[in-house]
Amino acid sequence: SAAEKDGHDWFMRKEIHEQPRAVADSLLGRRAPNGELQLDEVRLSDEDLRDIDKVIIVACGTSFYAGMVAKYAIEHWCRIPVEVELASEFRYRDPILTPYTLVVAISQSGETADTLQAIRHARAQRSWVLAICNTNGSTIPRESDAVLYTHAGPEIGVASTKGFLTQLVACYLLALYLAQVKGTRYGEEIADVLDQLEAIPGHLERVLEQREHVYELARRHVGARSVLFLGRHAGYPVALEGALKLKELAYLHAEGFAAGELKHGPIALVEDGMPVLCVVPPRGRDQLHDKMISGIQEVRARGAHTICLAEEGDESITAYADELVRLPRVPVLLQPLVAVVPLQLFACELATVMGHDVDQPRNLAKSVTVE
C-alpha cells in the first residue's frame, strides 16, 4: 500500500529517499572517546591486521560495484593491494588465498549463492572472511569469521539503492580502520574523512531536492535505444552502477565505461542524440577532472547528448553539458555516495514512465539463491 511506501509509488523511490538516514545510521558510534575509529567487528588483533598482505573483495551486482569503490579507497589509504572479483568467477580461477589474505564478502541480502560459495572456498584456504551485510543472521554472515552490518533497514525494491550507499560507508570505514591500524601516512586524515562522511547525509538531502529536475531529464530520454555512462576513478564504478540500474529497471541497453577507455573502442558507439551520462570528478590536484572534460568534448563532438553530474562551482563543464545536475563538493573517493543518487532517480523515473514495475523487474530476484 501507499502507506507502507510512505506515500511513494515504489519501494525503490521510498528507499532512495531514506538514504540520508541510512548513511547516518551506518556511521553511528564509530568514534571512540579518544577520537579513534572503532571497528571491533573485524575481530582481528592489530597484530594480525598488520600481517594482512592482500584484500580480496567478492560480490555480485550492485554490491560488486561497492567493492570496486572500496578498492580505490583501501589501496589509497592503506597501501594494501586489493582485488575485486565477481563472486561467480572467484573460486573457478583457483585464486591465491593464504591466512594473510583478508576476504571481504559484500552482500545486502546475505543469501546470494555465488557469494556464499566464494566465502566457503576462501575459508577452506584459511583466509579470514569478513562479511559486509544488511541482513541480520543471514547465511553469509553466519558462515563468515566476522561481520560488519550495514544499517539500511529492510530493502524491498529489487534494485539496490540504500543498500549500496551503506555498503560504501562500511567499505570506507573498513579502509580507514586498516589505515589506522597500519599507521600509514594517511592516519592523520582519518578524523577529517570521518567528518566528511558525517556531512554526507546533509549533502544527500541537497541532491534529493533536485529530484524534479532529474525526473524531467529522465522523461526526455524515454525513446532512447541505448544510454552510455562515463566515469573515472571512483566515478567509474558509479557509471557501471548507473548503467546497471537502467538495464534492470527500464530494460534499456546501457553501458558504463571508464572515460579514458572511450578512445580505445566505445566511442564508436556514439551516435547523434545518444544520451551520455558523465560523472565528472571533483576538481583537484590530479588531472582527472580535465581529462574527463576532454572525454566529454569528444563524445559531444560526435553528436552525444551529454548529461553531466558535476560539483557545484565547476563552471568549466557548462560549455559541454547539454544538461547539468549539480553535486555537492566532496573528495573524489567519497563522490560515489552523492553521484549515484541522481542515477538512481533517473532510472526509477525512466522505468516508471515506460510503465514497468520498478520494484519487481522482469526476470530478476531480490536475492539469487542458486549459482
258, 278 Cβ separation under 8 angstroms:
no
Distance CA 70, CA 37 (A): 17
Distance CA 110, CA 126 (A): 21
| Residue 246 phi, psi dihedral angles, 5° rounding | -70, -40
Nearer to ligand G6P, 247 or 329 (CB): 247
Minimum gap (Å) between residue 164 Cβ and ligand G6P:
8
Nearer to ligand G6P, 119 or 274 (CB): 119
Distance CA 104, CA 59 (A): 9
- Give the SS3 label for residue 100: coil
Distance CA 17, CA 283 (A): 28
Residue at shortest CB range from ligand G6P: 61
Nearer to ligand G6P, 15 or 25 (CB): 15
Distance CA 100, CA 52 (A): 5
Minimum gap (Å) between residue 59 Cβ and ligand G6P:
6
Nearer to ligand G6P, 60 or 178 (CB): 60
Minimum gap (Å) between residue 363 Cβ and ligand G6P:
10
176, 151 Cβ separation under 8 angstroms:
no
Write out the residues near ligand G6P by the rule CB under 6 A: 60-63, 107-109, 112, 115, 158-160, 364, 367-368
In a 10 Å sphere around its CB, with 0-12 CB exposed, 13-18 middle and 19+ buried, how is residue 33 labelled? exposed
Distance CA 164, CA 204 (A): 14
156, 6 Cβ separation under 8 angstroms:
no
Minimum gap (Å) between residue 368 Cβ and ligand G6P:
5
Helices (H), the chain: 11-17, 19-27, 46-51, 61-78, 87-90, 113-124, 139-142, 162-182, 190-198, 200-208, 211-220, 235-250, 288-301, 335-353
Task: Read off the C-alpha cell for 366.
Answer: 531480490
Q: Among this protein's residues, is 366 annotated catalytic?
A: yes
Nearer to ligand G6P, 96 or 364 (CB): 364
Q: Compute CA distances 114 → 191, 267, 281, 360, whole Å.
A: 36, 33, 33, 21
Minimum gap (Å) between residue 65 Cβ and ligand G6P:
8
Minimum gap (Å) between residue 63 Cβ and ligand G6P:
4
Nearer to ligand G6P, 349 or 359 (CB): 359
Nearer to ligand G6P, 352 or 367 (CB): 367
**DSSP for residue 240:** H
- Tally the C-alpha atoms within 13 A of residue 321's C-alpha that lie toward its C-beta: 21
State the catalytic residues.
366
